[in-house]
Amino acid sequence: MASGNFLVGNDGLTIEGFDYAVLPLLQKAGYSVPDKYESLNRASVLISLIGKEDLEKTLAGVLNGEYRRLMDLTRKNGNPHQVVHAHQLSDYKTIGVYSDDQTASKMFASIALQIQTKNSADELDKLLETLRVTGKALSSS
């Protein structure tokens, strides 16, 4: 067995959307997802994935298949499942793949904290820039 940490989805994928569209397909293929984290900016979902050796290939295949299925549904009758949209499943990023089934879960909290810290720093930078621009505009008037 192997394990890995992945950032799954983009553009607002939530744990609810992941659980609806992706998790059942991974479980059906014999994989488990013991850890999930949705960052505050809801850009993607961090997961730990445990299963056979080809974690990346399986995850890519599941995401691609579900993306196509949701695109077909959307073309036929709009998106009846507002929990997840096809474009939210178009991407994933590998954080790390490990040769045992425990390392991903052991690393999970640390990775989630790093992601949240970066997101918080990015949000703070945006806020400070807004304040600078607002301050300049106010001092000019």
Residue 49 pLDDT: 98
pLDDT digits (tens, 9 = 90+) for 109-137: 999 988 888 777 777 778 888 887 777 76
Instruction: Return the pLDDT at 83.
Output: 82
Strand 45-51, strand 32-38: pairing: antiparallel
The residue to which tokens 């014999």 are assigned? 30
Kindly give the parts of the chain with pLDDT less than 50.
Answer: none
This model's pTM is above 0.85: no
Separation between Cα atoms, residue 47 and residue 4, nearest integer Å: 8
Q: Sketch out the chain's domains with CATH numbers.
A: 2-140 (3.30.2130)
**Residue 50 CB coordination number (10 Å):** 24
User: What per-residue confidence (pLDDT) applies to 32?
Assistant: 97
Element (H, E) at 126: helix 103-140
